[in-house]
Every structure is written in C-alpha cells, then in structure tokens.
Structure 1
C-alpha cells in the first residue's frame, strides 16, 4: 500500500460480507460476469487487493460496468472515487438505469435483504431473495440478480444453521431450491450466466443436503449431494465438485459405509489439490481419516490425520472458499476426537472433544453441543470412567436442547443416556438419567 492510499473497506465488505468470497473467487466472478455481459476482463486477486488497499481509487470503465452489474451500486457506493462530477452524474444516470426493467437492481437491495435476514430470520430472506420479489422465469432473461439471490439464500441457511440447527429450515431450503431450478430449467440466459447460476444452485443443493443430513434424512441428503455433484460437473466448477465429494464422504461414514467414505474423501482431495486451499485439503484428509477409523485401520487413520494437520498448519489462503469458515482449529480437534473414539481411544477422544469445546468459545452452538455430548460419552466409557466429568458434560448438553433443533443432537443425547446407563447405580448418573427421562424433547 502506498503511503497516501486509504483502504477501501466498502469494496472489501462487499466481497467478504455480501458475497463471502476470497479475492481469487471474487476475481473469477468478475471475469465470468463480464463475459456474460459481453465484456472482456482479466481481473486477478492482485487487482482485487489493489482495490481494497486503496491503490486503485477509480477502476477502469469496464470494471465499473461489471461491478455495477454484480452489485447494483455505482463507484461512490462501492467506496471508489466517482469518475464524473455530481452534475454530470445527475444528467447521465437516467440513461444508465432502467427503472421499468424488472432486472435492474436498486443500489440498496442487498442491504435490505441482509437486514431482513437479521430481523426476520431465514424464512423471510429466502422469500425475499427467491420468491415474492423474483421475476417470473418463463420467457424472461436471467442475470446476476438471480445468481445473487441464490447465493444470498445459501448464506442465510448456513448462518442460521450454525447456531440453531436444521429442523426449522428444511422447508425453506426446499422452496429456495425449487425456485432456483425453475430459473435454470425455464429461464433464458447466456452460457456464462448459466454456469454461474448452476454453480450457485449446486451450492444451494449442498446447503439443503446438509440440513437433511442434520435432520437424520440421509436418503434426501444423498440425493441433494449428488445433484450438487452433477451441477459442479456441468458448470465445470472444481471447488463445488470437491465440496460435494467431501459431503458424500461425511454422509457415507454416518450411514455406516466407511469404505465409501474413504473413496469419496480421496476423490475430494484429488479434485481440491490444484485449487490452492491447504485448509480445504486438510478437511478432506480428516474426512478420509474418519472413514479409516470406522474401518478400524489405525495406521491409515493416523497417516490421514497427520496429513490434515500438516495442510492445516500452512494457514489460510485467499483461495479458501467461504463455506470453509466452520473449519476452525476447534473443528480440527473435534474431528480428530471422533476418529479416536471410533478407534476405541476414549481418553484421547475425551481430551480432543474438550479442546474442541474450549476453542469454539461461543461460536457454532450446534457443533459445541455435539462435542460436549462426546465429552460425556467418552468419559463414561473409558477404561477408568470419570463420572464427575461425564455427568457435568451431560448436564451442559441439556442446556442446548431448547435452542438447537438438530436430530443429530437428539441422537447424541441418546448416546449419552446409553453411556451413563452403565453406571445407573451411581447417584450422579442415576440423578442425570432421571432428569433426562423427565424432559419432553420434541423430535427434530
């Protein structure tokens, strides 16, 4: 950054908050959008960094047009120096904007949608993004407005899921996905826009699949993940393809198919290799380790865990996709703890789960709840049971139930109950079991 350059936090916020993309991803989006509108650009992560650092105060006209297409905002609204005087802008704006065109986006539409999410929750945001305000698909040309809407709905689903679980959102996800497929199947769009829309729909399929997985609907999740995989290949989107394989690996392990879990994780690692995201590779290495642990192959599991830690230690990269935000050091520790549990290494599993909860802090309520449950189970079943630690953790799990609606959490509570049932004659365990039986917990 030059000495007199002022950082452009507005354009950085657009990338990180509105689109939740790395610089590399945002540069690719700029280029694809340009191609969809008949422009020719060569945007790179370095150029995006120059915008954000304030080294470029006024992008070239071609980028001004593309950024307006992407965001619906002018240069000043994106934190840049306007190219024209206020008088000239007032004269020319009517020629640039088409208020009667249903596909012209008002400058503050995205902010309105984001505020609607924070105020009304995920149901409102999906109806705003994909429903009542969306154009009819039949006979209409699709553009970046529709792509943005699908991305916004996916973001809304993930944001709500991290803290509250999946049960309340599956219906909204299904509605959003139906609308997105309507646009794909019946809308008119350029080839470049079609690829963007298909990639965005694939990412929405993964989000919907995750909600089904978390609700215990494994058959639905498998179908949705396979739809995402097909969308990735049709759109030639390797990141989406790798993500799809990674999700299929997780699902296979949870469904008791460890060899399939290993194969899918290895496919994810192969596709992710050239993408320049060590942490994405680390996640898929840990997915592979989970499969090996369930098989009982300690040597292969340890090798995959070592790989995961080595890749994770390389640190974050600009190429890290936004959906990877959940893969924190806490999650790395937690996933290893699950492997240790499947290998019968209960003391190490309990320690790892404790580390995961500690590192999570107050974030990701559902994942914290699951790891607290693991602490209870592993301390109850270890060779030398620690009932004080087990019951303390079991009591903490119960505090999550009112807010976190997740079938996986209910299943985890059943595992806690089964583990403490071994010690039913001990007063501590007996008291917790009585408390648990007295609760009426609705199925997720």
Structure 2
C-alpha cells in the first residue's frame, strides 16, 4: 500500500483511523512536534506534504498491520467518495498533463475502493487463479505502454487483496498453487512498477512477497524471475551507494543454479547481462567482458531455438536492443564514456515498446551529456521529456535524464523547467 501524495485526508486517516492516536501521541511516534502534525493535516492536493516529512509518513504507513491498513484504506475511500469527483477536479488545472492526472486520480477514487471492498470467495478455484493471472497480464501489457508510476497503486492494492484471499479462503492443492503462482507474478510486477517509480523500499517488500509465494507454489521459474528483477534493482541502487553489487551477483547466482539444464533461451541471456551490469559497477573489466560475451552468445542461441512467442511474457523484451543498452551502460560505468555514447546511438529503438524506447533514449541522452555533446543531449532529452509529459509515467526514466539537466544548466532553460516540473509532479502521478 502506498500514498502518491500526502494531503490532510491521508494524514488524518493514518493518525486517527489506522493508529487511533492523538496528535501528541502521533507526533511522538514519528519524531515531530504537534504543530507540525497540525500543519500536515491541513495539507491540500496542490500543497501536499513533501520531502523527508512525506518519507517519514511513508515509513509509518509501511509499518501498519493488516487491520490498521484496512482502516486506513476505508477512511481514505470514505473521504474521497463523500467529497466526490468535483473535489478532485477543483485541484486540477486545464493543461493536458493535469487533465491526465485528474483521470488517474478519479480512477483511483472510484475503482480502488471497489476492488478492496469486493467480497472474498469462500473457496479458491482454478477460475479465480485464471482471473488473477489475466489481471496480471493486463497490468504488464499496460506497463509497457505507460510506465510504472501510473499503475503501481493498482498493482499493490490488488496484491494485498490476493494475499488476504490466500489467508482467509479454503482451496485444494492444485487451485491453491495456481493462485499462489498468479499472486507471485502480481507481486513481481508490483515490485517492478515500484522500482520504475523509484519506490525502492516498496519494491523490496513486493519482491519478498514474490519469493515467498514462489516458494509456496513450488515455482522455480517464478523464483528466477524475481531474482533477476531484484538483482537489477540492487545494481541500479549500487550506482548511488544504496546497495551492494555483490547482492545482485548472489541473486543472479541463485537464478543460474535454478536454470541449469534448461534449453537455450532468453533467460540465459538475461542472466548474463544482469551479471555484466553488476561487474560494471564493481569495475571488474574481465568479469564484465566475459558476461557480455555470454549474453550475446546466449541470445544468438535463443534466436535459433526459441521464438519470442514461445518464451514467457517477462522474457519477450530480451532483444539485441536490450542487451546493447545494458552493455553501453556497463561500459560507461567502467569509464569509457565515448564508447558508451557510440553504442547508445546504435540502438534499434523500433524493436522496443513505447516505455522501453523512452528509457533507451534517456540513457543515450545521458551518455551524450557525459561526453559533452550538449546539442545532441538536448535533442534526445527533450524528446524523452515530451513522452513523459504526454503518455509515459516513469520516475526511473526521468532520473536517467538528471545528467542531461546538469549538462544543460545555462544552455537550455526549457529542458530544465520541464524536467523540474515533471520531477515536482513525480512524472504526473
């Protein structure tokens, strides 16, 4: 469960409904003075709680037990439905980006309470597992078009409901394992959406759920999927000192152990390029070179032995463009910025979906900025900014453009202003 924007509604729901505390008690728990709590409870959608204060509220929300979380959701939903859509609309101005934000908010107010309040079945059947799997597939397909930030709340709320169903409903072994498998895939995609939204503690919690569900279902392929997603997050965070790349290598090693004996396919190429990423951050040129060579060899095998339609959905994005993108990023991590920029320029973007193409172009723009090609970085960066404003919602993609913003300081006020506006909005959601 997450809150995209902390207003007085959410703060009061957390304090009064979930925790049932006075303002003084709540202030002591979160480490602030009572006047600060009163200020938070007056926050509006146009002037929400921000920065460290919002992060501390996120932490309190994450500590809620299931019963407290249900009270919180009910209080927020009651407030939204009581005030209705006009309350939301008044906070929205008339430009295109804000109209889209209104659409997301309105959808959240109407749809999510209905999902959370729908009655649970008394018994889980195969049909329930199939419906959940279909919902996961829909979320995954939409993510490839619009990015993670617009979908993460929906996925996390549905995951909570799936976990509650497993806790409270009866099932036979076959149906139960099928439902656990679908719930594990949901936890995995929810973790990816949280990662794409730069919500890393939430992503880790979702991946922990995914590991547990994969273990309960006895699904080794799902475990491999979670390992590779969690490894990717660990490597990304390692670049800013927030994680250890050896953690990523450990997860990849587990995936490799579970995949031994599997026929040639994209999963082997993905494991190798994830390994190369970690070695790049570590500065291990030998390890990086061997892993990249393995990735290309395994991808060639995959093209010969596995059509894209035969492999699982989560591996269909493993293409020459994906491998080349991560090779370029790793070469940049090793310090060869010019070569990284050259490799980025050669990406076949027509192979990628809208979200991935924007991400690749953002990496290219950053590589150009790193070698001092200001004009090229501006052109590519502005094209990505336009996509983020119009159709794609990915905080991760925006963050990739941070070197471009720094390089264009004093050169392009337009890029800086549009970047800062997206950053302020959290890429529209």
Same fold (TM over 0.5): yes
Could you say which residue in structure 2 is the equivalent of 1:296? Answer: 283
Please state if 1:443 is matched with 2:422.
Answer: no
Could you say which residue in structure 2 is the equivalent of 1:381? Answer: 370
Could you say which residue in structure 1 is the equivalent of 2:90? Answer: none
Kept in 2: contact 1:181–1:201 (CA 8 A)? yes
Q: Which SS does the other structure have where 1:273 is aligned?
A: coil
Could you say which residue in structure 2 is the equivalent of 1:283? Answer: 270
- In structure 2, do the counterparts of structure 1 residues 237 and 305 end up closer, same or farther at CA, with 3 Å as the change threshold? same
Could you say which residue in structure 2 is the equivalent of 1:214? Answer: 196
Could you say which residue in structure 2 is the equivalent of 1:204? Answer: 186
Q: How does 1:245-394 map to 2 (within 5 A)?
A: 245-256=227-238, 257-314=244-301, 315=303, 316=306, 320-356=311-347, 359-361=348-350, 363-382=352-371, 385-394=372-381
Q: Deviations over 1:160-185 (max 9, x none)?
A: 11121112212111221122112211
Q: Which SS does the other structure have where 1:216 is aligned?
A: coil
Q: CA RMSD in A?
A: 2.6
1:277 Cα offset (Å)? 4.9
Kept in 2: contact 1:277–1:320 (CA 8 A)? no
Q: Which one of 170, 189, 206 corresponds to residue 188 of structure 1?
A: 170
Please state if 1:406 is matched with 2:394.
Answer: yes
Distance, in Å, in 2 between the alignment partners of 1:194 and 1:293 is 41
Kept in 1: contact 2:374–2:407 (CA 8 A)? no
Kept in 2: contact 1:262–1:289 (CA 8 A)? no
Please state if 1:227 is matched with 2:209.
Answer: yes
Distance, in Å, in 1 between the alignment partners of 2:407 and 2:140 is 32
1:395 Cα offset (Å)? 2.4
Q: How does 1:108-127 map to 2 (within 5 A)?
A: none
- In structure 2, do the counterparts of structure 1 residues 275 and 227 end up closer, same or farther at CA, with 3 Å as the change threshold? farther
Distance, in Å, in 2 between the alignment partners of 1:352 and 1:248 is 26
TM-score for both structures, normalised by structure 2: 0.67
Kept in 2: contact 1:249–1:264 (CA 8 A)? yes
- In structure 2, do the counterparts of structure 1 residues 222 and 285 end up closer, same or farther at CA, with 3 Å as the change threshold? same
TM-score for both structures, normalised by structure 1: 0.65
1:243 Cα offset (Å)? 0.6
- Which stretches in structure 2 are left out of the alignment for 5+ residues? 1-102, 239-243
Query: Number of matched residues?
Result: 308
1:387 Cα offset (Å)? 3.3
Could you say which residue in structure 2 is the equivalent of 1:136? Answer: 120
Q: Deviations over 1:295-322 (max 9, x none)?
A: 0001101101111111110122576212
Computing the radius of gyration from Cα coordinates, the structure with the larger value is: 1
Q: Deviations over 1:323-359 (max 9, x none)?
A: 1122222112111111111111222212222233xx2
- In structure 2, do the counterparts of structure 1 residues 279 and 386 end up closer, same or farther at CA, with 3 Å as the change threshold? same
Could you say which residue in structure 1 is the equivalent of 2:132? Answer: 150
1:141 Cα offset (Å)? 2.1
- Which stretches in structure 1 are left out of the alignment for 5+ residues? 1-119, 425-429
Q: Deviations over 1:263-311 (max 9, x none)?
A: 2112212212334352111101111110000000011011011111111
Distance, in Å, in 1 between the alignment partners of 2:149 and 2:351 is 21
1:223 Cα offset (Å)? 1.3
Kept in 2: contact 1:369–1:400 (CA 8 A)? yes
Distance, in Å, in 1 between the alignment partners of 2:375 and 2:209 is 46
Kept in 2: contact 1:292–1:301 (CA 8 A)? yes
Q: Which SS does the other structure have where 2:179 is aligned?
A: helix
Q: Deviations over 1:2-29 (max 9, x none)?
A: xxxxxxxxxxxxxxxxxxxxxxxxxxxx
Kept in 2: contact 1:163–1:363 (CA 8 A)? no
Could you say which residue in structure 1 is the equivalent of 2:406? Answer: 418
Distance, in Å, in 1 between the alignment partners of 2:118 and 2:312 is 27
1:132 Cα offset (Å)? 8.7
1:127 Cα offset (Å)? 6.2
Kept in 2: contact 1:372–1:394 (CA 8 A)? yes
